[in-house]
Amino acid sequence: MAVTGRADMQVHSDLGDGLSSIEEILDAAERARLDVIALTDHDDIRGAFSLRDLAARRSSPVEIVTGVEVTTRSGHLLALWIEDDIPMFCALAEAVARVHRAGGITIVPHPLSYLTFSVGEGALRQLERAGGEWMVDGIELRNPSWAGRVRVRRAEWLNANLLHVAATGSSDAHHCDLVGTCWTDFAGRTAADLRRAIVERTTVPDGRGWSVREHLDGAAKQQWRSMVRQPFRRARRRVTGSR
């Protein structure tokens, strides 16, 4: 009997603009019986390293993929299996190529959405024409938020008819209670199995949408962190060169 694993490849912590600690996130992932998660704070990979170390110390059954949600000039991009930050505000194709040269995988989160900073159809078509190291590896077709669902039918059509990359699902959780609300099914259980499934385009997105209450719970605090605190912190890091 084939084994199917579950991965949540977009989660945010309070080290970035999320509301929950890495300890709370790992607890939630274990309760949800996820096999793999990726911490993808905006433009800052440090939390992913901390979560990976925590999981190792606890001998957690959840395997951690290091990642970051990169702010490119064309929208957000998930960079997974990397060990260093990707520069903010670079061109989308450059960011994709940098991730690939670093041995990583790229996924477009909440594609085409006009409710959050997202990669649009024109930019995806340009990547497809360029191909090679400039082409993304996956596209998120199951996201529980309104922002992630608003253009999903068009994104599904675009992938089926033009892009032909791995279809993924992620919670985009900024609160631990929402970890694992959407996920990616894949053959196997390990991060290596997940990566293989992405490359082979055999992943299946799954999960549910958020309720109104789930959308609103902690939304004001999270938006303050996203729009005020984190941009200030990122600007300070760029000026001082601190890690």
Reported pTM: 0.91
**Residue 215: what pLDDT?**
77
CATH number of this structure's domain 4-240: 3.20.20.140
List 186's β-bridge partners, or say none.
Answer: 5
**Residue 214: what pLDDT?**
74
The token pair at 213 is 């209450």
Which regions of 101-203 does DSSP assign to beta strands (E)?
A: 105-108, 138-142, 166-169, 182-187
- Rounded Cα–Cα distance for residues 18 and 157 (Å): 31
Domain boundaries, the chain: 4-240
Low-confidence residues of the chain: pLDDT under 70: 1, 218-243
**Residue 221: what pLDDT?**
62
